Chain A
Amino acid sequence: MAILRAEFPSRASKKVMGPLIEADEELARRSKRGDREAFEELVRRTSRGLFAKIYLETGDSHRAEDIAQEAYLLAWRSIGSLSDPKAFRGWLFSIGHSALLQSIRREARSKLSNGDAAMSAVADSRPEPRESAASRERRQAVLSLLRSMPKEYRLPLTMRYLAGADYEAISKELAISNGSLRGLLGRGMAMLRAEMKRLNIE
């Protein structure tokens, strides 16, 4: 069993991750040289992860999408400042984060100029159409649960539920090896279920 468990990840990583990471790095390098297609490919590979991450922070899918788009624009414009193509994802996420912060600031400014009180929460409280108040409440509860989870579990779960990604997509976007993702997903889901049960979230 131990042998088996040891074998799977290694095999999977060789088959799936190796070329992928190299390709990521290569794509980033090409983008840096101004290759639009390469960047588009990078966008395809990373957009859901970024979205999920931003959504987790904002709790508003439209806004998250806007911010993600903004982030990609920013990323493309400042791709020159990417020093290590291997670290493209981390760099992208940090850009996403700063795009989010910018967006929050902008919102705060516009709110101030509209005479509203200062922004108190990151989450958007606007009611979304086509959904009930109950499901919205539950979603917020789950989101706050997710936010409170350790980062290594949070990201795959976010990918899974918020971005609707399947196993392969998660592994691709987060660039996590097959074996470790299995453990992370399994334990994360179990943790989430337990928490939901404990907090009585239906």
Chain B
Amino acid sequence: MTSETSQHDWFAERIATYLTDGMSGEERSEFESHAAGCADCAGKLAWAKGEDESLRELFAEIAPSAGFEDRVIQRLRRSGWKMPGLMGSIRLRPAVVKAATAAAAIVLVGGLGYWTVQVMQERRVAGAGQTIEPPMMAWADVPPPVAQRTATTLSYSYASPNSNRTQLGSGYRMVTGLEPTFAVAADINPGEQHEKEGQNVLPGDNLRVTRSSIAAGSPLAENKDLDGMASESTPAPTAAYSYDSELKAPAPGAANSYQPADVLASKSVGDLQSVPQQTAASPSPTNAPVSRQGGLFGVTGGFGGAGAGGGGGGGNGNAEANQTAQPESGRKIIRNGEMSFEVDSFDSAFVQISKIAAEEGGFVSDTDSNKLDNGKMSGAVTVRVPPEHLDTLVLKLRALGDLKAQQITSEDITRQYTDLQSELRAAQAMEDRLLEIIKTSKGTVRELLAAEDQVGVWREKVEQVTGQINYFNNQVSLSTLRISLMERDFRQAALASEQEVVDMGIETADVEKARDQAMAALDGVKARIVHAELKKLDAGQFQATIMADVSPDAAGPIIDQLRSLGRVARMNINRQQTLPRGTTAVPGLKVERLDTQLVISIYNLANVAARQTSSVSMACPDVETAYHAILSAVTDAGGRVVNSSLNRIKPEQADASLNFDVPREKAGALLAQIRELGEVMQLAVTENPDAENVTDAKQAFDLTLASAAAVAPRESSQITLMPAQSVAKAYQAMLTLVRKDQGNMTTAQLQEEPGGSDSATLAFDVGRQHQGEIEQAIVDAVGDGGRIISRTSSRSTDTEHTLDSKVGYCLTLASADALQPREVTARTIAVADVSGAYGRVLAVAQQAGAKIAAANLDQSNPSSPSGQLDLVFTAAAKEKVEAAIQDSGGGTISKSIARSADMNATTDEKSELRLTIQDLNDLPARQTTTMNVQVSDPQTAMGDLQAAALAAGGRVVEQHLVKNDKYEGHLVVVVPLSKGADFVNQVRDSGTVQTVESTEDLSVPAADFAEAKLDVTLAAGSGIVGPDAGLWQGLKNGLSASVHGLAYSLELVTIGLCLILPWAGLGWVGWKIWRRFRGRVAGGA
């Protein structure tokens, strides 16, 4: 404000502020005053103002109208103030939506991709069989792997003319005939085929040649391919080759196979025609997908070449043209062969071999032959021939005879050969170097000496390698064919020898004497005694063995002589013809007889078991006598007692055993003698197996003696009888009789009792001859009025330990009284008056003549007396007693009747009654009913019930009335059973029945006297609420209901959370997105 210019500047700076009303009062007035005072500044202000206004006017139209803020706020309010916060923050941002969409798209695309992959894989697996094929190899251009060329085996197997063709591979084809023929698979040009073979086939190819000789015509007919040709085949044996490739590649499928076949007629070998035939290796359906390579190499070097030549040349059968191109690549191959023939004559075969070898440019290098005993020759010829002629040679040689085996081997030694050459070069170079060093002689003497040594070493090496190379060259340049020759019938035997071996066993009493005689006899025929011995063994046994060789002619007489020495127990004559080793017999063979070999053994019988042994078991009346009699009889018969024993305690209990043998011829008489001494219970004859140490000359006995008295009779009778007269009399009579008959009394017992119930027992056995007397005595004892109660006769099946010569008896004698009643009745009755009934029944029984076995009345307890009666009476008395029981009143509680078995000593005429009399009051109630009744007034109810019970004919057993907080009564009454139900109903009517429990005792009969017992509990009336209501119960019910409700609501909540919430959320999100999208579209429009 001090300076004029600053005043103007100040003014200019504030024009804008002034125009926008940005000045406070003081400043404003200062500004206005300056404008008023300064025209220049006023002009500026006016201009600025003008501009400002024009601009403001310009934009006045577009400036938001006055209510702009309000409109914005209105809009905010209209759109509902979507509150930021919980829900607001969840709002999906576009980015999130995009991300989610992208994720979904990725998942979708990924899923689609996965599905596609799956589908494709499935297809691939399904179609693998058809779609995957190995690439077809360009077969013509693939040379065979070198490794597989290295070893070629040409093996030959012979098959007899009638052998079956099945031994050949399925791919076998055969063409016969003199003219070359092609048998070619349909789609392959044979010419082309051969061209390719020419390129690829090398002699070293790995091949196997199989030859089969087949009777012409017959098996060929089976080959469909060759039906026509079969007729052309000559009747001569035909050789056919089948070349099987051994290449590891499987055979081609049938469609790919081809069979170019050539015919090579080998005219020079007579009637043999060889037909090399190449086939594809057997096409097996299982290894279908293969390259054609397998078939391609099915051509051998020599034969293949020959075949190709034959095919090309047409009829040039001999394998000369186009013979195997020897390895132009400098391959070194050693080819060797082996053949084996059966020929008619070795010499002529040798001559032929020499001739053929010369024809083929070879020579016989070795021969070796030997003549056998039978005049046949065998040997080997080794032929060396140029390798290319080997196969022809082999073919020609086949006419030599029967070919037994053939083998051609090839060995590719190219590598070794090359190695050797390198080695040689290296060695030579080394040698040269050393020689150079020595020549120039620059080193010390010692060094020179060392060098000389080294030269020697290397020289040796050079020689060695050169030798090896030469050997290889030789082997390669000339093949070696080794021919084994064998003349026909080479194995025929010249002479057979025959020898007899005689093995004799002679039993004799005097071994030494017999032996001396035998030796003398052998000397007489000039036999050669090889071995002679005499042995004395234990138990007086002698054994002599002689082995001698005697001329065959003298053998017969000497054997006859030996026979007379004793009993010939055995004789084996074994004649055997033997042939020289490795030969076979032919009819009409000359036989040489060799000396007969005699093996003689002479022995006595001392320790030899008898063939037959008789085991005898017998019963003798007097064992001791019999024992001694037998011993003396054995000695008389010239027998030998081996073992004997006598065991005598008492004469009737003695037993003895004897072991002896007697000469066979005495055995029968002895046995008869023995039989007389007693009764034979068992006789068994056993025979030992017919072995060497067993003789027929004697018989052994194994004898057991037992006392006849100790042996049980076979037949025995058990008899129970009631004699007519007294038991004692019958007993005495029987005893006397048995003694008289010399019976054997085992038991005799008489029991006499005062009551007349006597009984006796007799057990005895008597001789069978006395049986009738005994039987008569028994009949007499029974007499008139007695009877036989039971009789059992038994005959034992045991024959070995029983005697048939006597009869056993077991008699039981019993008087009528001693017999027990058969029927026993046990009966229990209940009566009101026990003692009265007891007295009455007892009196009636006595009156009726019953036997009172027991009678007992127990009145110790006056309230419940009881009585027991045991009565035995006849049928008549029984009725009276029954009536008496009936009269006594009361009822039967139980009744049981037991009948004993008929066999026992019982009688039907009597019966027994075991009666038990009980007091009625002791009977428990039939029916017991326990009741709980609520009545308004227990006291009155109780009185009523008591009265009712008495009225119904019952009685009150127990009653009491208690008063705690209210009356409670307990009443026990017994009423007749028939009234029981009525009474229960009455109780029911008296109040509210709370529990009723009724039990029935089935052991008490439901008779008139049966009673029903009632146990009634009477209680005063109930409270307001029942027992199942109350605070605690209410609480419990409430809690239970709450828990149920809680569980149910939990279930609902869980369902809501896990099922509805996710869907609802999904729906909500979807709605949001849709809304948003729609809103945006609407906004955009």
Q: Give the B-binding residues of A (Cβ under 8 A).
A: 1, 32, 34, 36, 39-40, 43-44, 47-48, 51, 55, 61, 64-65, 68-70, 72-73, 76-80, 106-107, 109-110, 128, 130-131, 135, 138-139, 142, 160-164, 166-168, 170-171, 178, 181-183, 185-186, 188-190, 192-193, 196
Residues in A with CB closer than 8 Å to B82 are 73, 76-77
Shortest CB distance B541–A (Å)? 132
The answer for the CA separation of A65 and B59 in the assembled complex, in Å, is 14
The answer for the CA separation of A131 and B51 in the assembled complex, in Å, is 19
Cβ-based interface call for B1030 (8 A):
no
The answer for the CA separation of A76 and B82 in the assembled complex, in Å, is 8
Q: Do A65 and B16 have beta carbons less than 8 Å apart?
A: no
Q: Do B72 and A69 have beta carbons less than 8 Å apart?
A: yes
Q: A47-B72, A51-B68, A186-B13 are in contact. List 11 more A-B contacts (CB 8 A).
A: A43-B69, A48-B68, A70-B1083, A106-B1080, A107-B1084, A110-B1085, A139-B59, A142-B55, A142-B58, A164-B60, A189-B15
Q: Do B84 and A77 have beta carbons less than 8 Å apart?
A: yes
Residues in B with CB closer than 8 Å to A77 are 82, 84, 88, 91
Residues in B with CB closer than 8 Å to A44 are 69, 73
Per-residue CB proximity of B953-975 to A under 8 Å, as 1/0? 00000000000000000000000
Interface SS majority for chain B: helix
Pick the 4 closest A-B CB pairs, nearest first: A167-B22, A106-B1084, A61-B62, A167-B20
Shortest CB distance B55–A (Å)? 5
Q: Do B1084 and A166 have beta carbons less than 8 Å apart?
A: no
Residues in B with CB closer than 8 Å to A182 are 13-14, 16-17, 22
Residues in B with CB closer than 8 Å to A34 are 83-85
Q: Do A48 and B64 have beta carbons less than 8 Å apart?
A: yes
Cβ-based interface call for B1032 (8 A):
no
Residue of B56, B59, B71, B82 ringed by the most chain A CB atoms within 10 A: B59
Residues in B with CB closer than 8 Å to A162 are 59, 62-63
The answer for the CA separation of A166 and B23 in the assembled complex, in Å, is 11
Residues in B with CB closer than 8 Å to A167 are 17, 20-23
Q: Do A47 and B15 have beta carbons less than 8 Å apart?
A: no
Residues in B with CB closer than 8 Å to A160 are 20, 56
The residue of chain A having its C-beta at the shortest distance from the C-beta of B7 within the complex is A1
Q: Do A69 and B71 have beta carbons less than 8 Å apart?
A: yes
The residue of chain A having its C-beta at the shortest distance from the C-beta of B62 within the complex is A61
Given A78-B84, A110-B1085, A168-B22; A161-B75 close (CB under 8 Å): no
The answer for the CA separation of A65 and B64 in the assembled complex, in Å, is 7
Q: Do A110 and B1084 have beta carbons less than 8 Å apart?
A: yes
Q: Do A65 and B88 have beta carbons less than 8 Å apart?
A: no
The answer for the CA separation of A164 and B81 in the assembled complex, in Å, is 29
Residues in B with CB closer than 8 Å to A1 are 1-2, 6, 10
The residue of chain B having its C-beta at the shortest distance from the C-beta of A51 within the complex is B64
Shortest CB distance B430–A (Å)? 93
Q: Do A40 and B73 have beta carbons less than 8 Å apart?
A: yes
The residue of chain B having its C-beta at the shortest distance from the C-beta of A62 within the complex is B62
Residue of B48, B82, B84 ringed by the most chain A CB atoms within 10 A: B84
Cβ-based interface call for B166 (8 A):
no
Given A1-B6, A193-B48; A69-B75 close (CB under 8 Å): yes
Residues in A with CB closer than 8 Å to B17 are 167, 182, 185-186
Contacts A/B (CB < 8 Å), 11 sampled: A44-B73, A79-B84, A80-B89, A128-B61, A131-B61, A139-B62, A142-B59, A160-B56, A161-B58, A189-B52, A192-B55
Q: Do B69 and A47 have beta carbons less than 8 Å apart?
A: yes
Cβ-based interface call for B79 (8 A):
yes
The answer for the CA separation of A171 and B55 in the assembled complex, in Å, is 20
Residues in B with CB closer than 8 Å to A164 are 56, 59-60, 63-64
Cβ-based interface call for B269 (8 A):
no
Q: Do A80 and B84 have beta carbons less than 8 Å apart?
A: yes
Which of A48, A73, A163, A186 has a CB less than 8 Å from the CB of B16? A186
Cβ-based interface call for B1046 (8 A):
no
Shortest CB distance A178–B (Å)? 8
Q: Do A130 and B75 have beta carbons less than 8 Å apart?
A: no
Q: Do B51 and A76 have beta carbons less than 8 Å apart?
A: no
Cβ-based interface call for B76 (8 A):
yes
The residue of chain A having its C-beta at the shortest distance from the C-beta of B19 within the complex is A189
Shortest CB distance B393–A (Å)? 99
Contact-residue bracket for chain B: 35 or more
Q: Give the A-binding residues of B (Cβ under 8 A).
A: 1-2, 6, 10, 12-17, 19-23, 48, 51-52, 55-56, 58-64, 68-69, 71-73, 75-76, 79, 81-85, 88-89, 91, 1080, 1083-1085
Residues in B with CB closer than 8 Å to A106 are 1080, 1083-1084
Residues in A with CB closer than 8 Å to B22 are 166-168, 171, 178, 181-182, 185
Which of B12, B72, B1085 has a CB less than 8 Å from the CB of A72? B72
Q: Do A138 and B71 have beta carbons less than 8 Å apart?
A: no
The residue of chain B having its C-beta at the shortest distance from the C-beta of A109 within the complex is B1084
Residues in B with CB closer than 8 Å to A110 are 1084-1085
Residues in A with CB closer than 8 Å to B75 are 69, 72-73
The residue of chain B having its C-beta at the shortest distance from the C-beta of A135 within the complex is B58
The residue of chain B having its C-beta at the shortest distance from the C-beta of A164 within the complex is B63
The residue of chain B having its C-beta at the shortest distance from the C-beta of A15 within the complex is B24
Residues in B with CB closer than 8 Å to A51 are 64, 68
Residues in A with CB closer than 8 Å to B58 are 135, 138-139, 142, 161
Shortest CB distance A201–B (Å)? 10
The answer for the CA separation of A128 and B60 in the assembled complex, in Å, is 13
The answer for the CA separation of A61 and B71 in the assembled complex, in Å, is 14
Residues in A with CB closer than 8 Å to B13 are 182-183, 186
The residue of chain B having its C-beta at the shortest distance from the C-beta of A186 within the complex is B16
The residue of chain A having its C-beta at the shortest distance from the C-beta of B61 within the complex is A131
The answer for the CA separation of A63 and B148 in the assembled complex, in Å, is 93
Q: Do A76 and B48 have beta carbons less than 8 Å apart?
A: no
Residues in A with CB closer than 8 Å to B76 are 36, 39-40, 43, 69, 72-73, 76
The residue of chain A having its C-beta at the shortest distance from the C-beta of B70 within the complex is A44
Q: Do B16 and A185 have beta carbons less than 8 Å apart?
A: yes
Residues in A with CB closer than 8 Å to B60 are 164
The residue of chain A having its C-beta at the shortest distance from the C-beta of B23 within the complex is A167
Residues in A with CB closer than 8 Å to B2 are 1
Q: Do B73 and A43 have beta carbons less than 8 Å apart?
A: yes
The residue of chain A having its C-beta at the shortest distance from the C-beta of B63 within the complex is A164
Residues in B with CB closer than 8 Å to A48 are 64, 68-69
The answer for the CA separation of A35 and B32 in the assembled complex, in Å, is 45
Residues in B with CB closer than 8 Å to A65 are 64, 68, 71
Q: Do A61 and B69 have beta carbons less than 8 Å apart?
A: no
Residues in B with CB closer than 8 Å to A131 are 61
Which of A55, A79, A189 has a CB less than 8 Å from the CB of B48? A189
Shortest CB distance B9–A (Å)? 9
Shortest CB distance B685–A (Å)? 128
Q: Do A47 and B56 have beta carbons less than 8 Å apart?
A: no
The answer for the CA separation of A109 and B1077 in the assembled complex, in Å, is 13
Residues in A with CB closer than 8 Å to B10 are 1
Q: Do B62 and A55 have beta carbons less than 8 Å apart?
A: yes
Residues in A with CB closer than 8 Å to B81 are 36, 76
The answer for the CA separation of A164 and B56 in the assembled complex, in Å, is 7
Residues in A with CB closer than 8 Å to B72 are 43, 47, 68-69, 72
Shortest CB distance B483–A (Å)? 104
The answer for the CA separation of A130 and B19 in the assembled complex, in Å, is 27
Shortest CB distance A165–B (Å)? 8
Residues in A with CB closer than 8 Å to B83 are 34
Which of B15, B21, B69, B89 has a CB less than 8 Å from the CB of A186? B15
Q: Do A185 and B20 have beta carbons less than 8 Å apart?
A: yes
Residue of B6, B20, B91, B1085 ringed by the most chain A CB atoms within 10 A: B20
